[in-house]
Amino acid sequence: MTRNLSLVIQILLLVFASQCSAKVAATLDDVTGTENLLKVTVPTVNEQFLRPAGAPRRLGIGTLPDIGSTVNDIRANIVLNENGGSVFDVTKHGAKADGETDDAQAFMTTWIAACRNTVGPAKFLIPQGTYLVGPVTFAGPCKSFPITLENQGTVKATTDISEYSSPEWFSIEDITGFILTGSGVFDGQGVTVWPYNDCKKNRFCQLLPISIKFSRLNHTIVDGLTSVNSMGFHTSVFYCYNFTATNMKIIAPHNSPNTDGMHLSTSKLVTITNSVIGTGDDCVSIGHSTENIVVTNVTCGPGHGLSVGSLGKYSKEKSVYNVLVKNCTIFNATNGARIKTWASRISGLASGIIFEDIVMYNVKNPIIIDQTYGTKKKKVSNWKISDVHFKNIRGTSTTNVAVLLECSELLPCEGVELRDINLTYGGTNLRNTTIVSSCSNAKIATFGVQNPPPCVV
């Protein structure tokens, strides 16, 4: 009961916090006190670029479902929940939990009942057991507030791709006040379908299903998610506002294709913290049309690092503002702190990005800006990168180029800060242990320790 009450209170605090976010957005200061991450204004040079669209259905507290006006009302609802009045158990709605019968219909029936619940909070419960589940959609808006999905079992995806008319396994959408928790496992069983991924050869390839897609959610907590061997992305956060993910374990082999741990797009106020992510692609990818993103205390490896991008592939993409990646460890990865944009005609801006207090172990490209991503032809990127800070980054590089800044010839990077960089060679070629920096079209300022020596600009 204490845990559920704590989650409800967290949701309430998130709701209230979002109402005054415009007033307090400037309070997340850089630890040195010299910078302000969440800027209220855009530099003059960036005014030509559009800011991201507003948050989806930014609801005021008065428009939320009635949860009672006192803590006692909330406590009463939680007691009822613990006594079973508002717990919706999938096994009580037809789920077999035998690991062979497709329980998708039972899951859908249970969700509808929980979503329609009118007695305060509701819990969608997956108890211990093994469940085989095809694609399902958990859609709102719901009368229950908040509504919790608690997984205590092992949920395995069906692997017949023809069943997936939409490229998601679990689609969770159109909900205010959603909580995902539990010590169970979501197993995408991707091993059986990864051979069908031909995206390295076919740029128009069909992506395999995302394990869990969060779409158009307001005020969300994901606490304790375990996801293994997703077919495509493990999770996707799309068009969400005020989203917190913590204590996640996301795991797939280093050679699993397109298994990003958490991909963000068209979302604001997203926090990812205290998690372990190891996949065959980006541990976290911060995509287009995102603003006020914080990634802290994440251990990443294997994978392709903690990335902003890729940006500039599709015409409807908007810019990225105010990203903080801090207190993270990256190991056995192809990239570390990365910003990547396509060399295309699509224009936009990535600005106000801080990578700070990051430890690298055996990382191929510890610090990298890549504005020729996805092309071997001589093309230029129309995406502007500015106000970027790499601070207190240390560890080992498996290549001799530890700092690689390849910016756009058309729109050079501006305001790139390198402060206290200490990277040494940790590769296998002991005949050449010298590491260097390589830069093009970048305006750089350096401070403190610089190993490798900075580019001369």
Cis preceding linkage at 146, omega within 30: yes
Instruction: State the catalytic residue, choosing from 93, 219, 288, 304.
Output: 304
243 burial type by CB count under 10 A (0-12 exposed, 13-18 middle, 19+ buried): buried
* Active-site residue flag, 93: no
Q: Which amino acid is at 97?
A: A
Q: End-to-end CA distance of the chain, in Å?
A: 60
Q: Which two tokens stand for residue 214?
A: 């969060």
Helical H segments across 294-409, by residue range: none
Q: Scanning the structure block, which residue is given the tokens 């989203």?
A: 243
Query: How many whole angstroms separate alpha carbon 453 and alpha carbon 437?
Result: 7
> Please, are residues 287 and 260 in contact by the beta-carbon 8 Å criterion?
no
Using DSSP's 3-state secondary structure scheme, residue 218 falls into strand
DSSP alpha helix (H) spans, 254-391: none
| Cα separation values, 227 from 212, 245, 351, Å | 9, 13, 31
Asked whether the beta carbons of 331 and 298 are under 8 A apart, the reply is no
Query: Can you read off the two tokens belonging to residue 315?
Result: 């015409």
DSSP secondary structure of 185-204: EEE--GGGTGGG--TTT-TT
d(CA 91, CA 110): 9
Q: How many CB atoms lie within 10 A of CB 27?
A: 9
Q: Which of the residues are catalytic?
A: 304
